Amino acid sequence: MNALPADGPEIDAAFLRRWLDTAADVIEREAARLDDLDSPIGDADHGGNMRRGFIAARTAVGQEPPDTPGGVLVAVGRQLISTVGGASGPLYGTLLRRAGKELGDEPAVSAARLRDALKAGVDGVAQLGGAAVGDKTMLDALYPALDALSGALDAGASTADALSAAAAAADTGATATIPLRARKGRASYLGERSIDHQDPGATSAALLLNALSDTATGTAA
């Protein structure tokens, strides 16, 4: 449904509202798995916390739908900061708010603009959390996804194909956290014992990027 047009794909507020619906659904579906991933290296609540945030975000955006893509991202970010708690709330909230502010009040943007905005958001996350790629955090999914998105767009891929490449790279990045030793967040206290567990934050980041890709291809459930 509602796949992006093949010619001159533009990302508008309706597109990002569909992404929010898809993301909220997938977080709902995967909340228990995120909790399970968080159990050995955190405190088993990442899924529950994200579910609470996305339910609130969907409700808020549904009640007062912003009419720009930037507005949607800012609204979702604000809800996550206000409802999630823990580290995920400020981190995901900052990502989306920063990206939304970057988009300003344009009624529709290109995929390249969305990429630049996401880059600004992810850089904001890195700055706020003081983490880098390899620290076993959500950045291990987000930065590879941005690289893949950029590479695909530069090679002339369609928006849907480029987002799909980003989602695949995020999945790979999330899986690649398994052998890493955590250096940030609650898992860092486990030291060597954080090894051999997939990072729940990288996993939820990959889920959100897959939701974006599914929205673009119209394959969202």
Partner 1 sequence: MKMLINVPETVVADALRGIAAAHPDLTVDVERRVIIRRGAPYEGKVGLVSGGGSGHEPLHGGFVGKGMLDAACPGEVFTSPVPDQMVRAAAAVDSGAGVLFIVKNYTGDVLNFDMAAELAEDEGVQVAKVLVNDDVAVMDSTFTAGRRGTGATLFVEKIAGALAEEGASLDQVAAVARRVNELSRSFGVALTAVSTPAKGGPTFDLPDGELELGVGIHGEPGRERRAMMTSGEIADASVEAVVDDLQPDGPLLVLVNGMGGTPLLELYGFAAEVHRVLGERKIPVARTLVGNYVTSLDMSGCSVSICQVDEELLRLWDAPVSTPGLRWGC
Q: Please identify, among the stretches 20-28, 101-109, 182-190, 211-219, the one whose residues bind partner 1 according to the rule CB under 8 A.
A: 182-190
Q: Please identify, among the stretches 5-13, 34-42, 115-123, 213-221, the one whose residues bind partner 1 according to the rule CB under 8 A.
A: 34-42
Of residues 14, 25, 33, 40, which one binds partner 1 by CB under 8 A?
A: 40
Please, which residues have CB within 8 angstroms of residue 26's CB and are 6 or more apart in sequence? 207, 208, 210, 211, 221
Q: Please identify, among the stretches 48-56, 116-124, 143-151, 161-169, the one whose residues bind partner 1 according to the rule CB under 8 A.
A: 48-56
Of residues 22, 49, 158, 159, which one binds partner 1 by CB under 8 A?
A: 49
Query: Is residue 151 a contact residue for partner 1 (CB under 8 A)?
Result: no
Q: Can you tell me the distance from the alpha carbon of 47 to that of 217, in angstroms, rounded to the nearest whole number?
A: 26
Q: Can you tell me the distance from the alpha carbon of 140 to that of 190, in angstroms, rounded to the nearest whole number?
A: 19
Query: Is residue 133 a contact residue for partner 1 (CB under 8 A)?
Result: no
Query: Is residue 44 a contact residue for partner 1 (CB under 8 A)?
Result: yes
Return the sign of the alpha-carbon dihedral for residues 69, 94, 80, 34.
positive
Q: Please identify, among the stretches 12-20, 32-40, 113-121, 144-152, the one whose residues bind partner 1 according to the rule CB under 8 A.
A: 32-40
Query: Is residue 48 a contact residue for partner 1 (CB under 8 A)?
Result: yes
Count of residues near partner 1 by CB under 8 A: 32
Q: Considering the complex, state which of residue 188 and residue 217 has its C-beta at the smaller distance from partner 1.
A: 188
Contact flags string 196-215 toward partner 1, x per CB under 8 A: --------------------
Going by C-alpha positions, the residue among 15, 209, 215, 6 that lies closest to residue 107 is 15
Of residues 185, 206, 216, 220, which one binds partner 1 by CB under 8 A?
A: 185
Going by C-alpha positions, the residue among 90, 88, 57, 68 that lies closest to residue 187 is 88
